[in-house]
């Protein structure tokens, strides 16, 4: 199962893609919240669910429950429905948003099929998402390259017998500490982040250095072919050290620290101010 957040009219809906069934599953509570605009969609769904069960509605009986990430970051069992089941649930909810939501459902399904056939569409959607959040084109380009570098590294770790999850996290910590002087958690604390993505809150230079660390680690691993988790630790440290030396060279040359405590919203605000200042200067404004 691959978990994602889909957006309908600026409202997040938790979804998960079942690779085996090749089908989306949607959080029913999230959909109920969007359609009803209820302040307590959990209660609304609980009451509706009981009524549908009492009526012998098989849609509710056949609904699955999956662990999805809640607003507090914890994973909890949540009722989910595939597209067909969800359409039947929607029929029981009086809402002016029902028809637009049905069109949105069809679009989500079509996009997934299109992306399977053409992975470039995934990148296009990612670019559009970052642009809406105010990121610069330069930053977006670096972020896409960083995503690719990370995927190549984790593929290499997988080939070398490293296990997903905890072992990936430990190696990432070692790599990050080697170039930044901090673990991933310490780095996030510096930026005041909790559940947010660290990479999505890095400056362009931070992204480049992190990508260099991951790329160097992958190249060392391919050359040396370490086996298992323990042998990969030293490789990750050396890969991170390459980026650490580059970081020090930049700081020595500029006299400024590379690592910033600013997160995305602040970084984007600074860029906006710079652009506005340039426009005023060109136009002669004070």
Specify the pLDDT at position 281: 46
From the list 86, 74, 63, the residue with the least C-alpha distance to 13 is 86
Question: Residue 257 gets which letter from DSSP?
Answer: -
Tokens of 101: 């939501």
pTM recorded for the entire structure? 0.57
Nearest to 105 by CA among 45, 41, 42, 30: 30
Please give the pLDDT value at position 209. 95
pLDDT per residue, tens digit, the chain (286 aa), is 556 777 877 788 898 877 666 678 899 999 999 888 888 999 999 999 888 888 887 777 678 888 888 877 788 899 998 888 888 888 888 888 888 888 777 777 656 545 554 556 667 777 887 888 788 888 888 888 888 898 899 999 999 999 877 898 899 999 999 999 999 989 999 999 876 778 888 998 999 999 999 999 999 999 999 999 999 999 999 999 999 999 999 999 999 999 999 887 676 544 444 434 443 444 344 4
The distance in angstroms from the start CA to the end CA of the chain is 55
Q: How many CB atoms lie within 10 A of CB 1?
A: 13
How many angstroms separate the CA atoms of 41 and 116, rounded? 33
Residue among 194, 208, 193 at smallest CA distance from 261? 193
The pLDDT value recorded for residue 273 is 44
What are the C-alpha distances in Å from 152 to residues 23, 61, 147, 148?
Answer: 27, 42, 9, 6
CA distances from 236 to 92, 167, 217, 239, 271 (A): 54, 12, 5, 5, 33
């Amino acid at each position: 199962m691959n978990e994602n957040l889909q957006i309908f009219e600026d409202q997040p809906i938790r979804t998960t893609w079942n690779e085996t069934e090749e089908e989306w599953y949607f959080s029913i509570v999230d959909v109920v919240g969007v359609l009803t605009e209820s302040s307590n969609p959990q209660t609304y769904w609980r009451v509706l669910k009981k009524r549908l069960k009492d009526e012998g509605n098989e849609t509710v009986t056949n609904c699955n429950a999956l662990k999805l990430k809640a607003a507090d970051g914890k994973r909890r069992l949540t009722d989910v429905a595939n597209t067909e089941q969800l359409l039947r649930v929607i029929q029981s909810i009086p809402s002016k948003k029902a028809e637009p939501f049905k069109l949105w459902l069809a679009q989500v399904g079509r996009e997934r099929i299109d992306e399977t056939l053409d992975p470039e569409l995934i990148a296009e959607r990612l670019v559009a998402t970052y642009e809406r959040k105010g990121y610069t084109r330069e930053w977006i380009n670096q972020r896409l390259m960083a995503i690719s570098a990370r995927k190549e590294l984790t593929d290499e770790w997988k080939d070398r017998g490293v296990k997903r999850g905890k072992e990936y996290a430990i190696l990432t910590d070692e790599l990050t500490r080697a170039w930044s002087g901090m673990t991933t958690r310490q780095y996030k604390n510096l930026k005041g982040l909790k559940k947010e993505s660290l990479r999505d809150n890095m400056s362009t230079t931070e992204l480049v250095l992190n990508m260099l660390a991951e790329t160097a680690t992958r190249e060392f691993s391919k050359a040396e072919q370490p086996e298992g988790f323990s042998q990969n630790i030293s490789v990750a440290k050396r890969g991170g050290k390459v980026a650490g030396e580059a970081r020090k060279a930049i700081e020595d040359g500029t006299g400024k620290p590379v690592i910033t405590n600013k997160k995305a919203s602040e970084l984007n605000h600074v860029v906006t101010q710079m652009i506005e200042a340039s426009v005023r200067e060109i136009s002669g404004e004070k």
